[in-house]
Structure 1
Amino acid sequence: MYEFGDEQILQGDIDKLWAVFTDFARFPDWDPREEMAEIDGPFVPGATIRSKQKGNPGGTGKITRVESPNRWTGESPLPGGKLVIDHFLEPVRDGKVKVTKRYQVHGPLTLVFRLYFGPRVRKSISTTLTALEREAQRRG
């Protein structure tokens, strides 16, 4: 297994941040990494998601866990393994929330992620989290 991620302290209300972070189909509206994102129904475990990030291949996955407003998890199959992406929101102090995005790669593509995709994705997480904060503030 290969694991990587990042966290940031964001200014904002956890419920507003959660609303943006779980509005999957609108990710391309605010996240500069996202080219396409779709969900086949409500944001609940079992929902099918499809997405493509700039510079990376797109894919299909499932929402596997939703614990409003603190955590959601998506899982995508990889040849011989899987990619699990966890999203955590935790209130830390006056109007601030620690937001964490963590990736786990299981299976034979671990080395490819470690050498190629992981470093690129890790660099972009802070851009995504900053954009999340701005979008939550914009939606008010």
Structure 2
Amino acid sequence: MEATKVMWSYEHSVETGASAEAIFEIFRDVSRWPEWNPGVEQIDLDGSFATGTTGVMVMPDQGSLSFRLAWVGESQGFEDETEIPDAGVVVRVRHSLEPLAAGGTRITYRATVEGPAADALGPEIGPGVTADFPEVMAGLAARAEAGQARG
């Protein structure tokens, strides 16, 4: 019998009048993330914004984290993952874009902490990862709406 994967998770969604395409273009332009995401000081990718690309994110007063783009879907979103081998966990954040029938997009961020130590460390690590989701997502939505208004 296979062991059950232990997981901690959190999800937050916002709706915006901006299109999924406009939001995805903001995701793709990682050099400008600090303009709308106060939790990012700098971000560098080792290649294009595509599945499998690795990178480093520098956060204010917290140092840097290496990550990998585990999935990138054009105008659908992306998922990044950060492995913390010494802790026995992997932190994943899926950024999903869902077009709404009436126009606009639902943006959903879903964070998970998985691995052998997730039951113990998830409640410690997870809230630190997700605390700024509402603020960050509001900034993303406002940026996308402003960019779309400029045409």
Partner SS for 1:63? strand
Partner SS for 1:34? coil
Q: Which has the larger radius of gyration?
A: 2
CA deviation string 1:58-88 (max 9, x = no partner): 3101111111111311111112231111110
Q: CA deviation at 1:56?
A: 4.4
- Report what 2:49 is aligned to: 43
Partner SS for 2:131? helix
Q: CA deviation at 1:39?
A: 1.0
State the Cα RMSD in Å: 1.9
Take 1:10 and 1:27, find their aligned partners in 2: how far apart are those partners?
Answer: 18
User: Any unmatched runs of 5+ in structure 2?
Assistant: 1-6
Letter in 2 for 1:11: G
- Report what 2:123 is aligned to: 114
How many corresponding residue pairs? Answer: 139
- Report what 2:91 is aligned to: 83
Which structure has more strand as a fraction of its residues? Answer: 1
Under a length normalisation based on structure 2, what TM-score does the superposition of the two structures give?
A: 0.81
User: Any unmatched runs of 5+ in structure 1?
Assistant: none
Q: CA deviation at 1:110?
A: 4.8
Identity of aligned residues (%): 22
1:72 aligns with one of 65, 78, 99: 78
2:113 aligns with one of 105, 117, 121: 105
- Report what 1:92 is aligned to: 100
Letter in 2 for 1:35: E
- Report what 1:2 is aligned to: 8
State the 4+ residue runs in structure 1 displaced beyond 4 angstroms.
none
1:6-25 to structure 2, matched below 5 A, reads: 6-25=12-31
Q: CA deviation at 1:42?
A: 0.9
Q: CA deviation at 1:57?
A: 4.8
Q: CA deviation at 1:109?
A: 5.2
- Alpha-carbon spacing, 1:64–1:12, altered in 2? closer, same or farther (3 Å): same
